[in-house]
Amino acid sequence: MLSSYSPINGALLGQVPVATLADYQQAVTRAQETFNRWRMVPAPQRGQIVREIGEELRRRKSELGALVTLEAGKIKAEAEGEVQEMIDIVDFAVGLSRQLYGLSMHSERPGHRIYEQWHPLGVIGVITAFNFPVAVWAWNAILAAVCGDCVIWKPAPQTPLCAQAVQEICDQVMARYGFPHVFQTLQGGAEIGERMSDDPRLPLISATGSTRMGKLVAQRVGARLGRTLLELGGNNGLIVLPDADLDLTLRAVVFGAAGTAGQRCTTLRRLFLHRSIAPAFTARLIAAYGQLRIGDPREASTLIGPLISADAVANMQRGLAAIQEQGGQIIYGGEALEGCYVRPCLVKAPPSLPVMREEIFAPVLYLVEFDELDQAIAWHNDVPQGLSSAIFTRDLLAAETFLSARGSDCGIANVNIGTSGAEIGGAFGGEKETGGGRESGSDSWKAYMRRQTVTVNWSKQLPLAQGIQFDL
Ligand code: NAD
């Protein structure tokens, strides 16, 4: 049995059975059988069926949000925001179901037509992290479903009840249409993720979580030449120039660094302050951190809930010890409070601090001073991860430099908006050790389909490409 404990107070919330090998085999077999039928349902009809999951989510938004709060410790507004993200992606997917476009090309040969079409890929494995216990599944599964795929979900072991609730919502809708196994869930730990990674019946594994996990999954899936879509750790930076609107900047920094208790992949972790504004801005930041209300995320006034577990608290404390050993200076917070609660932390750091290259999955924000934009960009890019980035400035030239090919090397680059809180319409994901995957909006759907290039000869000749003559 997998036990779910609330990070709010350690209470046992419930238990779910761990999927056995037999459960695994049954799920894959059912998914394959369902796929054979589901792939032949016209995509717009798949969209109409999936739309009803969105309707159900609208009805259940506050209930499901409350469960996210209980199990993952997110404050109510963020937990309901996560459910809203699921609803948004369903809306997007319904429209997408009529827009799975392929290109057509002009053939070099007379009487020939060339075009690309997109077909469903198969049974997709989705592995998710604890910190987005419902939305990340939706980004993957809802798009995959309108693309004609079936989905097997292995949720994080810390948040099994959120997954079960989502599965039950899907079951209700999908059973009505005779497709009960388009979406399935297998509860458990890494061993199920490993089994999925090794299984050639799953052509794509979409995995969200730590870089450590992503490297393991990539190797196993790569060994069978399967496809991966990886959404891994971030180490996100924000550059503040002297002409920035500092009120706006302050709000973005505090939400980005301390919000969600620092447990977003897009959490702001490195703040590059121009030397001329650094002392005053740091003072304002310390004052703002002093206002953060830490506590039970079910209370409306709370802004910072708990970390996910006692292990996460211990990991943060280890990180803070390393920071101090290496020459970083804690200038605010960092204390472990009762249970899984911590005080968000501000650290004054030299640009070369080794530990700053790692993702400590907790609210620890490094403050680094710089003199020149080019220097700030170079430091910003000098980490293994490449997820989200931002610059605050009113200088068009500086903003465009940051967005140019010699600017931010991240998958997401923002101007006068913080690093966290992306909309679903754009493609989401990052470069380097963040894994290179793209999910959610734009043309991310292509990851869940296979491309077929079709050439039709409607002439009565057989001309060969490149003018090759091969006459008998
Ligand atoms: P984690 O890597 O510990 O676990 C993530 C998932 O992978 C879990 O379901 C886990 O059971 C599974 N897993 C672990 N080892 C595995 C293996 N060897 N094979 C297959 N599956 C395995 O991550 P976490 O602590 O749950 O989440 C936090 C991390 O996730 C952070 O690094 C964060 O940045 C990252 N994250 C990234 C994104 C993104 O979109 N880039 C989004 C959310 C979280």
69 in the same domain as 108? yes
- The CB of 217 under 6 Å from ligand 1? The reply is yes
| Helices (H), ranges, 208-303 | 211-223, 246-258, 278-290
Question: Which residue type does 94 have?
Answer: V
Task: Give the CATH number of the domain where residue 22 resides.
Answer: 3.40.605.10
Contact 190, 163 (CB under 8 A): no
Residues serving a catalytic function are: 231, 265
Tens-place pLDDT, residues 189-219: 999 999 999 999 999 999 999 999 999 999 9
Tens-place pLDDT, residues 258-308: 999 999 999 999 999 999 999 999 999 999 999 999 999 999 999 999 999
Contact 119, 90 (CB under 8 A): no
Task: Give the CATH number of the domain where residue 331 resides.
Answer: 3.40.309.10
On whether residue 167 sits in a domain, the answer given is yes
On whether residue 424 sits in a domain, the answer given is no
350 is written with which tokens? 């030299």
CA–CA separation, 294 and 305 (whole Å): 6
345 in the same domain as 220? no
293 in the same domain as 261? yes
Contact 305, 297 (CB under 8 A): yes
How many C-beta neighbours within 10 Å does residue 255 have? Answer: 17
On whether residue 93 sits in a domain, the answer given is yes
pTM of the model: 0.98
138 in the same domain as 118? yes
183 in the same domain as 319? no
- The CB of 188 under 6 Å from ligand 1? The reply is no
Question: Ligand 1 pocket test: which of 208, 267, 388, 434 has the largest number of ligand atoms within 8 Å of its C-beta?
Answer: 208
142 in the same domain as 13? yes
The yes-or-no verdict on residue 148 having pLDDT over 90 is: yes
| Helices (H), ranges, 60-205 | 61-72, 76-96, 135-146, 160-176, 190-198
On whether residue 472 sits in a domain, the answer given is no
Q: Whose CA is nearest to atom 8 of ligand 1?
A: 156
On whether residue 272 sits in a domain, the answer given is yes
From 314, 370, 322, select the one nearest 342 (Cα to Cα): 314
Question: Which residue type does 465 have?
Answer: A
386 in the same domain as 258? yes
From 269, 295, 455, 460, select the one nearest 355 (Cα to Cα): 269
179 in the same domain as 81? yes
On whether residue 104 sits in a domain, the answer given is yes
472 pLDDT band, cuts 50/70/90, is confident
220 in the same domain as 160? yes
265 in the same domain as 179? no
Q: Give the range of the structural domain holding residue 114, as residue numbers without chain letter.
A: 2-232+435-455
Distance from the alpha carbon of residue 64 to the mean position of ligand 1, in angstroms: 22
308 in the same domain as 164? no
- The CB of 230 under 6 Å from ligand 1? The reply is no
Tens-place pLDDT, residues 233-250: 999 999 999 999 999 999
Contact 100, 39 (CB under 8 A): no
Q: How many domains does the chain have?
A: 2
On whether residue 462 sits in a domain, the answer given is no
On whether residue 213 sits in a domain, the answer given is yes
Q: Would you state the pLDDT for residue 370?
A: 98
Q: Whose CA is nearest to atom 39 of ligand 1?
A: 231
Atom of ligand 1 nearest to the CA of 234: 34
